Amino acid sequence: MKSKYLIIGSGQLGQELINLLNNDVEYTYHTMDPFNRGAYLDITNFDLLEDHIIKTMPEIIINTAALTDVDKCETDRNIALKINGEAVKHIIRAARVLGSYVVQISTDYVFDGEKGLYKEDDLVNPINYYGLTKLIGESYALSYDDSLVIRTSGIFRHKGFIPFVFSRLMNEKEINAYKGYYSPISAKKLAEAIVKLTEKRKTGIINVAGERISRYDLTIEIAKLLNKNPIIKEVDNVPSWIAKRPYDSSLDISKAKAILDFDFYSLKENLKYVVIK
């Protein structure tokens, strides 16, 4: 019997979705197989990508695969475009054959950061190549009527800014925190929201993210949870960054809140997932 779900990618979000969906899911991996039952797939091999989807025959496809290293996207544009953009075109091609429902995970970086608290219908204007490739992926997904684009922000689990801060605090090291704002959310909470939205078979674009906060203020909140009193410096930029970052890419999540009947978005609850556990 075919599985209801096919998860493409088994990173932080993919793993939480697999945990949540349990036996009703098949998944692909590229770098490592976290549960030792996935199918290896290089999504830049587009023929194999389409073949795998068609052979799997899923009712629902959730594409979590992405090159999310913003600086690597800037320096290796060819692979960034293939993974974040062109692969989505081929996922949609296979979905059309099967009549599958597709969920494409996108990013707050499709916006320029001049405004903040972006709604789904606000003007997109990416300022780095990562954001551009994700926007291209969105356009392919939205060309198919039975698709949902979920824009999110600052996903964290065992990787990301929040675990980085946690590690620095526990080792009593100074922290440089960027002034910019975003809407971080744990991979677990995001996965729960995604499954609920697939059950409702929503289409179009929906923002699913956490509360608007600066990385500086977030660092202070984490320090409070851990009863630490570190040296925290608020910085305008990070010298090692190659790509530009939007100053305020926070997302307005009122649409998701109206659709979903429970709260995924409490900053305290999101922090507890990594900091306390």
* Segment of 147-156, 227-236, 266-275 carrying the highest mean pLDDT: 147-156
Question: Among 48-52, 105-109, 139-143, 261-265, where is mean pLDDT lowest?
Answer: 261-265
pLDDT at 273: 63
Local structure of 245: helix, strand or coil? coil
Q: Where are the domains of the chain?
A: 5-159+185-210+250-266
Local structure of 111: helix, strand or coil? coil
C-alpha pair distances (Å), 210 with each of 15, 46, 250: 19, 34, 9
Q: Which of 5, 129, 130, 178 is catalytic?
A: 130
Q: How confident is the model at residue 227 (pLDDT cuts 50, 70, 90)?
A: confident
The architecture in CATH of the region 5-159+185-210+250-266 reads: 3-Layer(aba) Sandwich (3.40)
Give the Cα-Cα-Cα angle 245, 119, 82 (nearest 5 degrees): 50
pLDDT at 275: 59
The pairing of beta strand 213-214 with beta strand 181-182:
antiparallel
Active site residue 130: yes
Which comes out higher in pLDDT, residue 206 or 1?
206
* Whole-number Å distance between alpha carbons of 206 and 148: 8
Q: pLDDT tens across 190-214, in order?
A: 999 999 999 999 999 999 999 899 8
Q: How confident is the model at residue 1 (pLDDT cuts 50, 70, 90)?
A: very low
* Whole-number Å distance between alpha carbons of 185 and 209: 5
Residue 236 exposed, middle or buried by CB count within 10 Å (0-12, 13-18, 19+): exposed
Q: pLDDT tens across 66-108, in order?
A: 999 999 999 999 999 999 999 999 999 999 999 999 999 999 9
Which comes out higher in pLDDT, residue 3 or 215?
215
207 and 178 Cβ atoms separated by less than 8 Å: no
pLDDT at 274: 65
In the predicted model, what is the mean pLDDT of residues 7-16?
Answer: 93
Local structure of 264: helix, strand or coil? coil
